[in-house]
Amino acid sequence: MFYKILEAAKEHSSLSKKQIIELLLSKDQSLFETANKIREKTKGNGIHLRALIEFTNFCRCNCYYCGLRYDNHKIKRYRLTEDQILLSVDNAMKADYKTIVLQGGEDMFWSKDKFCNLIKKIKEYDVALTLSIGERPKDEYKAFKDAGADRFLLRIETTDKTLYRKLHPNMSFENRLRCLKDLKELGFETGTGCLVGLPNQTISSLADDILFFKELNADMVGIGPFIPHPNTPLSNEQKDNFDLSLRVMAITRLLLPDINIPATTAMETLRENGQIIALQSGANVIMPNFTTSEYKKEYEIYPNKKSSNNCINDISEQIKKIGRKISTSKGFRSDYT
């Protein structure tokens, strides 16, 4: 039965909820081999590197799982200046990166106009720009798109509405959906994703998450194992969610064969070589960190966050060993290799 499901998925890029649950519950490793083969066929052997700049750890939100939440008074807050951000962009360009990802908490200091100015300055380089800055009204997203931003990452986190409400005080699932729909409509390459291993999260709801990625026709999907942070309400939730996260990621590859899927830092944090394992199980993107070293440690979403080396030569050596190479394209969804 298991192999029949894999064959059907390979053929039609579609699975029922029942079939997804079966793949999630199985321990069979051939899921990963199948996802890897599909990635090879649709995306080639190129790995896209995205230079990640964590430009602010101020956040107005209070997500129960995140170390940057508003009520965590134990972290030192920082906000990079425009010049500091542009310096990191310049470093990434010198290192031959083709995509910048600006990520941060929901920091309202960064108004629509400030962001637009920054976007225009970054886009003076020949580079693709991804934003990961949370929920904003549609007119702001439109202004960011008009200023030149290409992509946007906003995880749905979980499609279980009851769980979503519990974990996100003063936020709404409906608004999260509205944001994702607006981003798609405005022509952003739109990324979403979920956390795996949240308290009270069920296998059935993870299957719904995967079906949601398909329904949205997400261009990128980031799957992160949930890692408890000591200064959050979920500090006591100890679990290793690596294997299940890998399964969610691999099944996502079956259903959305041509999208971009990162090997996430959270996977590397939970397992030595976690990112390499993910790259061999359906992923094709890595996001090395270009945040200035003095601030890196303050962007503590979860403890012991691994900060991957951003030197292209070192990464290149590692990925050569698994028969892959660094892509020289900007890595849009339609790009092969």
- Interacting residues toward ligand SF4 by CB under 6 A: 59, 61, 63, 66, 68-69, 105-106, 134
- Measured on CA atoms in the order 270, 275, 259, 207, is the torsion positive or negative? negative
In this complex, which beta carbon is closest to ligand SF4, that of residue 30 or of residue 172?
A: 172
Q: Out of ligand SAM, ligand SF4, none, which partner does residue 253 contact, by CB within 5 to 8 A per kind?
A: none
Binding mask 185-214 for ligand SAM (x = CB under 6 A): ----------x-------------------
Give the angle 140-297-48 at the CA atoms, nearest 5°.
60
Residue 118 lies near ligand SAM (rule: CB under 6 A): no
Of 50 and 168, the one with the shorter C-beta distance to ligand SF4 is 168
Q: Which of 105, 191, 233, 262 binds ligand SAM (CB under 6 A)?
A: 105
Per CB under 6 A, does 134 bind ligand SAM?
yes
Sign of the dihedral defined by the CA atoms of residues 290, 305, 39, 13, in that order: negative
For 88, the enclosing helix (H) or strand (E) is: helix 82-94
For residues 194 and 157, the answer to whether their CB atoms sit within 8 Å is yes
- Span near ligand SAM by CB under 6 A; candidates 7-15, 140-148, 224-232, 274-282: 224-232
What per-residue string of b and e applies to 255-284 under the rule 16 or more CB within 10 Å gives b?
Answer: bbbbbbbbbbbbbbbbbeebbbbbbbbbbb
Task: Output the six-digit token pair for 123.
Answer: 């886009």
Among 47, 180, 285, 301, binds ligand SAM (CB under 6 A): 301
From ligand SAM, ligand SF4, none, interface partner of 229 (C-beta below 5 to 8 A by class): ligand SAM
262/3 Cα distance (integer angstroms): 26
132 contact, one of ligand SF4, ligand SAM, none, CB 5-8 Å limit per kind: ligand SAM
Q: Which of residues 1-60 bind ligand SAM (CB under 6 A)?
A: none
Picked from ligand SAM, ligand SF4, none, the partner binding residue 227 (CB below 5 to 8 A depending on kind) is ligand SAM
With residues binned 3-state (H G I as helix, E B as strand, rest as coil), the percentages for the chain, rounded to 5, are 40, 15, 45
The candidate with the shortest Cα–Cα distance to 51, out of 262, 255, 196, is 262
Grouping H, G, I as helix, E, B as strand and the rest as coil, residue 3 is helix
When binding is defined by CB under 6 A, the residue of 32, 55, 65, 295 that contacts ligand SAM is 65
- The span of 32-40, 42-50, 63-71, 123-131 binding ligand SAM (CB under 6 A) equals 63-71
Cα–Cα dist 288/193, whole Å: 19
CA distances from 264 to 124, 162, 202, 219, 278 (A): 28, 26, 22, 16, 8
User: Residue 58 in contact with residue 79, Cβ under 8 Å?
Assistant: yes
Instruction: Tell me how far, at minimum, the Cβ of 193 lies from ligand SF4, in Å.
Output: 12
Minimum CB distance to ligand SF4 smaller for 59 or for 207: 59
302 binds, among ligand SF4, ligand SAM, none (CB under 5 to 8 A by kind): ligand SAM
List of residues contacting ligand SAM (CB under 6 A): 65-66, 68, 103, 105-106, 132, 134, 154-155, 157, 195, 224, 226-227, 229, 266, 301-302
